[in-house]
């Protein structure tokens, strides 16, 4: 299928051939009929992409701050590679469309194939021929409403949420500053609510349009006409509400709002304009400044948007889905008319030229629609004590046979940030490796990985990959909740498997993986515990030498706070944060101590996610992992001390290491990039697949580390040490 994309690094716009998205549970696959260009939001993004790197940095200081934090935590080389990788990728455009349901995923019963729906979301309602849309981001289009009008649904919801924030009352007067697409819709919604509206915009054509759509008077914000109209309509008191629907860097809108708003009036920011509030003016009138967050309650909440968990109507009357349905209803009943806003309808194949004309000013428009072909040739894709499980290998073939000199053919399931920044760059340049297929649930991420790393194919069809006898190994680099099931399926298909940590989020999931090993006889599994492969740590261990007595190991992980919206916060589906990454640190400790733990004791710090995990080993050694989120961001992320036999091994965040004993060894004091072992781990895995030799880490060790990680949660719940029954 085709999709409009942009490269944020170069500014390139393209209509790209990408795989058809899969139809996942909890949503529907929609074939687009019309999609709407947001001439404000999208053109701002297009313009930013055309800036120099310095210009991009100036326009997004919030992102610059994140980059600087990443440099402090991960080092400059890793951060540079990650940032350049994200910039030099195609990103989607669009967030408002109307289309026809082509496939219904499990768990959806409110629509059927053939229904016409309006869809929302900058990840789900894209300028693309097909989109997968979760349940709370679509609404059925009322009978009689044309699809080209229903494509305004999302933008209408933005305007509606802004109006709701203003709490207009019958007979009040409002000022709308900025009469672009959002402003024109706000004018109509206020008029339909019984509010008298004055509009302000420097474009006379937009002022005239707003007056045709219900505004009492409109004019240039710098003229006296707007002030005169407000004075006449309000007897000189000022308007009850001001809606800021303007963009740009001028502070004129907020200054005008203060001047024309009544005492204790409301100012609602809907657009993205400069907000240097003149303190005296806002203080003297005690103005109530409010922000309108996109389409309404539910926006940016993954449980609402992705998992389909609705808010009870008694507590949240107007969610983003209910706003969407309400706006569609208003259009169907004639209370809002979007036809006068349609400046241009372009064929989808002309998308790039349409954006160019809008950016250059050749096309003056309030709203532009893309019209999509009705039929396509391609078919859509179907879319207490914790036991350490014993590893039983069945009698089946351990893996598919392969020619000795043939390249190792790899498939990736998932192509997110970690895969594209930490794994694929190493594999793409490795001799004897062929990147065969990349599988993702979103079409564009697969297309990006194919373009950047040279995959032969990109698809959303996992079954086709697992059934491809030519593929030697499958990398599972997806959300944590899917690791165990995807690993199980790949093992049963006879593939060697590299799965990012964690291997499993529950004992049942771990048992399912081991059942697949027993059933298939295929134990060709590696979990991404890369730190044991870090060259600096390996050298330090060798310098420390053979240990004769019990050891004490202390591992401080200064994990830091998660950013708002991180999917690590979705503990209900993705497990706790420690369950997701704690295996790294347990595996490292066990490797340094040369054994698997026999018991786990965990305690949490009240009011935070901080954990203390104490592991006991067969020879009496102990390892204490302090996993903290409340430390200083300027402090190194990982520091480790191993004490035994009169010696101390010290690791400082994979930058420097030292060993103290009868002789002292210190690694180079020159700054170096943090090498946490990914490249060496991948080399060992590829070698094992090529030669048929043992996997880099024994399966028993992978299982023991996973069981110990799961035991942490059990220990927190029970408040007592957890014995790992069956541990070696």
Written as one string, the DSSP assignment of 610-623 is -EEEEEE-TTS-EE
pLDDT digits (tens, 9 = 90+) for 135-171: 999 999 999 999 999 999 999 999 999 999 999 999 9
pLDDT digits (tens, 9 = 90+) for 11-41: 889 999 999 998 999 999 999 999 999 877 7
Chain-centre distance for alpha carbon 212 = 42
- With residue 650 as reference, give the H or E element that holds it: strand 647-652
Helices then strands, counting H and E runs in the chain, come out as 25, 32
pLDDT digits (tens, 9 = 90+) for 482-526: 999 999 999 999 999 999 999 999 999 999 999 999 999 999 999
Q: How many CA atoms lie within 13 A of 727 on its CB side?
A: 28
| Distance in angstroms (rounded) separating the CA atoms of residues 656 and 534 | 12
Per-residue pLDDT band at 72 (split at 50, 70, 90) = low
Paired sense of beta strands 130-134 and 27-37, if any: antiparallel
pLDDT of residue 634: 87
Q: Report how far apart, in Å, the C-alpha atoms of 486 and of each of 166, 433, 500, 506, 568 are.
A: 48, 22, 11, 15, 19
How many of the other CB atoms lie within 10 Å of CB of 171?
9
Q: How large is the average pLDDT for residues 476-487?
A: 96
For 109, the token pair is 């019963």
Q: Describe the strand order of the beta sheet including 217-219 as a list of residue ranges.
A: 217-219, 196-200, 173-177, 239-244, 261-269, 288-291
Is residue 595 within 8 Å of residue 728, measured between CB atoms?
Answer: yes
Read off φ and ψ for residue 576, nearest 5 degrees.
-70, 165
Q: Report whether pLDDT(723) > 70.
A: yes
Is residue 328 within 8 Å of residue 147, measured between CB atoms?
Answer: no
Residue with tokens 């598919």: 400
Is residue 473 within 8 Å of residue 466, measured between CB atoms?
Answer: no
- Measured torsion, CA atoms of residues 331, 334, 339, 345, in degrees rounded to the nearest 10: 40
pLDDT digits (tens, 9 = 90+) for 205-263: 999 999 999 999 999 999 999 999 999 999 999 999 999 999 888 999 999 999 999 99
Please say whether the dihedral angle defined by the alpha carbons of residues 127, 128, 130 and 131, taken in this order, is positive or negative.
negative
| Distance in angstroms (rounded) separating the CA atoms of residues 334 and 116 | 19
pLDDT of residue 368: 96
| Distance in angstroms (rounded) separating the CA atoms of residues 595 and 547 | 12
Against a cut of 0.75, is the pTM above it? Answer: yes
pLDDT of residue 298: 96
pLDDT, averaged across the chain? 90
pLDDT digits (tens, 9 = 90+) for 591-649: 999 999 999 999 998 877 899 999 999 999 999 999 999 999 889 999 999 999 999 99
pLDDT of residue 155: 97
pLDDT of residue 66: 63
Q: How large is the average pLDDT for residues 664-687?
A: 89
Q: Report whether pLDDT(48) > 90.
A: no
Q: What is the CA angle 299-302-308, rounded to 5? A: 90
| Distance in angstroms (rounded) separating the CA atoms of residues 165 and 297 | 11
Least confident of 271-285, 533-547, 567-581: 567-581
Q: How large is the average pLDDT for residues 532-560?
A: 96
Q: How large is the average pLDDT for residues 458-462?
A: 92
Q: Report whether pLDDT(376) > 70.
A: no
Query: Which is more confidently placed, 573 or 455?
Result: 455
pLDDT of residue 309: 94
pLDDT of residue 378: 45
| Distance in angstroms (rounded) separating the CA atoms of residues 555 and 573 | 28
The stretches of 88-146 forming alpha helices (DSSP H) are: none
Residue 650's contacts (CB-CB under 8 Å, 6 or more residues apart) are 540, 639, 640, 641, 657, 658, 659, 660
Residue 68's contacts (CB-CB under 8 Å, 6 or more residues apart) are none
Of the candidates 1, 20, 30, 21, the one whose C-alpha atom is nearest the C-alpha of residue 108 is 30
pLDDT of residue 551: 97
Read off φ and ψ for residue 269, nearest 5 degrees.
-95, 115
Residue with tokens 């996109």: 294
Q: How large is the average pLDDT for residues 328-340?
A: 97
Q: Percentage of the chain surpassing pLDDT 90? A: 76
- With residue 281 as reference, give the H or E element that holds it: helix 279-285
Q: Report whether pLDDT(399) > 90.
A: no
Q: Report whether pLDDT(572) > 70.
A: no
pLDDT of residue 575: 80
Residue 564's contacts (CB-CB under 8 Å, 6 or more residues apart) are none
Per-residue pLDDT band at 579 (split at 50, 70, 90) = very high
Residue with tokens 């919801």: 157
Of the candidates 212, 213, 242, the one whose C-alpha atom is nearest the C-alpha of residue 226 is 242
- With residue 3 as reference, give the H or E element that holds it: strand 2-7
pLDDT of residue 391: 77
Please confirm whether the linkage preceding 502 is cis (ω < 30° from 0).
Answer: yes
How many of the other CB atoms lie within 10 Å of CB of 563?
10
Burial 485-509 (b: 16+ CB within 10 A, else e): bbbbbbbbbbbbbbbbbbbbbebeb
Q: How large is the average pLDDT for residues 463-478?
A: 96
Name beta bridge partners: 213: none
Paired sense of beta strands 261-269 and 288-291, if any: parallel
Q: What is the CA angle 163-298-34, rounded to 5? A: 75
Q: Report whether pLDDT(62) > 80.
A: no
């Amino acid at each position: 299928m085709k999709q409009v994309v942009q490269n944020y690094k170069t500014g390139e716009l393209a209509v790209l051939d990408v795989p058809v998205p899969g139809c996942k549970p909890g949503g529907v696959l929609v074939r687009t009929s019309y999609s709407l260009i947001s001439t404000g939001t999208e053109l701002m993004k297009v313009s930013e992409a055309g800036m120099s790197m310095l210009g991009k940095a100036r326009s997004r200081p919030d992102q610059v701050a994140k980059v600087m934090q990443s440099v402090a935590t991960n080092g400059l080389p890793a951060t540079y590679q990650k940032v350049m990788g994200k910039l030099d990728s195609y990103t989607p455009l669009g967030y408002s469309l109307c289309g026809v349901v082509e496939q219904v995923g499990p768990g959806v019963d409110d629509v059927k194939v053939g229904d016409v729906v309006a869809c929302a979301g900058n990840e789900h309602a894209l300028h693309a021929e097909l989109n997968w849309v979760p349940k709370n981001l679509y609404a059925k289009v009322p009978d009689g409403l044309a699809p080209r009008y229903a494509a305004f649904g999302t933008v209408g919801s933005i305007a509606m949420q802004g109006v709701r924030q203003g709490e207009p009352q019958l007979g009040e007067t409002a000022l709308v500053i900025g009469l672009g697409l959002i402003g024109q819709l706000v004018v109509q919604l206020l008029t339909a609510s019984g509010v008298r509206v004055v509009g302000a915009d420097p474009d006379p054509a937009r002022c005239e349009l707003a007056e045709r759509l219900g505004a009492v008077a409109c004019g240039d914000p710098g003229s006296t006409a707007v002030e005169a109209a407000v004075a006449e309509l309000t007897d000189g008191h000022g308007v009850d509400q001001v809606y800021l629907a303007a963009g740009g860097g001028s502070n004129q809108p907020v200054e005008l709002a203060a001047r024309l708003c009544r005492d204790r009036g409301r100012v609602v920011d809907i657009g993205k304009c400069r907000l240097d509030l003149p303190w005296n003016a806002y203080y003297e009138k005690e103005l109530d400044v409010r922000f309108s967050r996109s389409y309404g309650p539910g926006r940016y909440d993954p449980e609402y948007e992705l998992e389909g968990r609705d808010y009870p109507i008694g507590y949240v009357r107007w969610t983003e889905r209910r706003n969407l349905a309400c706006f569609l209803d208003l259009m169907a009943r004639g209370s809002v008319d979007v036809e006068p806003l349609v400046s241009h309808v372009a064929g989808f194949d002309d998308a790039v030229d349409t954006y160019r004309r809008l950016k250059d000013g050749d096309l003056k428009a309030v709203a532009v629609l893309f019209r999509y072909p009705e039929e396509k040739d391609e078919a859509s894709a179907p879319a207490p004590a914790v036991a350490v499980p014993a590893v039983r290998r069945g009698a089946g073939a351990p893996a598919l046979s392969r020619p000795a000199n043939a390249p190792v053919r790899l498939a990736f399931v998932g192509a997110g940030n970690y895969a594209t920044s930490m794994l694929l760059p190493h594999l793409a340049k490795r001799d004897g490796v062929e990147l065969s297929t990349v599988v993702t649930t979103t079409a564009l991420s697969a297309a990006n990985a194919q373009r950047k790393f040279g995959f032969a194919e990109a698809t959303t069809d996992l079954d086709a990959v697992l059934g491809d006898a030519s593929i030697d190994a499958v990398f599972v680099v997806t959300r944590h909740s899917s690791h165990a099931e995807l690993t199980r399926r790949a093992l049963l298909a006879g593939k060697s498997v590299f799965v990012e940590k964690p291997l499993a989020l529950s004992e049942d999931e771990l048992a399912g993986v081991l059942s697949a090993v027993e059933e298939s006889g295929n134990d060709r599994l590696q979990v991404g515990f890369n730190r044991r492969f870090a060259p600096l740590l390996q050298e330090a261990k060798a310098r420390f030498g053979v240990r004769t007595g019990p050891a004490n190991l202390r591992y401080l992980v200064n994990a830091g706070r998660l950013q708002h919206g991180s999917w690590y916060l979705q503990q209900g589906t993705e497990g706790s944060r420690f369950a997701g990454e704690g295996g790294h640190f347990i595996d490292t400790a066990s490797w340094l101590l040369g054994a698997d733990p026999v018991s786990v004791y965990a305690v949490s710090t009240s009011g935070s996610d901080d954990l203390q995990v104490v592991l006991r080993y067969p020879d009496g050694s102990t390892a204490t992992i302090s996993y903290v989120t409340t430390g200083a961001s300027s402090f190194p992320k990982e520091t480790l001390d191993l004490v035994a036999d009169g010696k101390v091994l010290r690791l400082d965040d994979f930058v420097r290491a030292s060993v103290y004993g009868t002789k002292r060894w210190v690694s180079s004091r020159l700054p170096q990039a943090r090498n946490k072992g990914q490249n060496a781990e991948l080399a060992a895995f590829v070698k094992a697949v090529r030669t048929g030799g043992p996997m880099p880490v024994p399966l028993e060790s992978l299982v023991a580390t996973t069981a110990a990680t799961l035991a942490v949660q059990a220990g927190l719940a029970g408040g007592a040490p957890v014995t790992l029954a069956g541990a070696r």
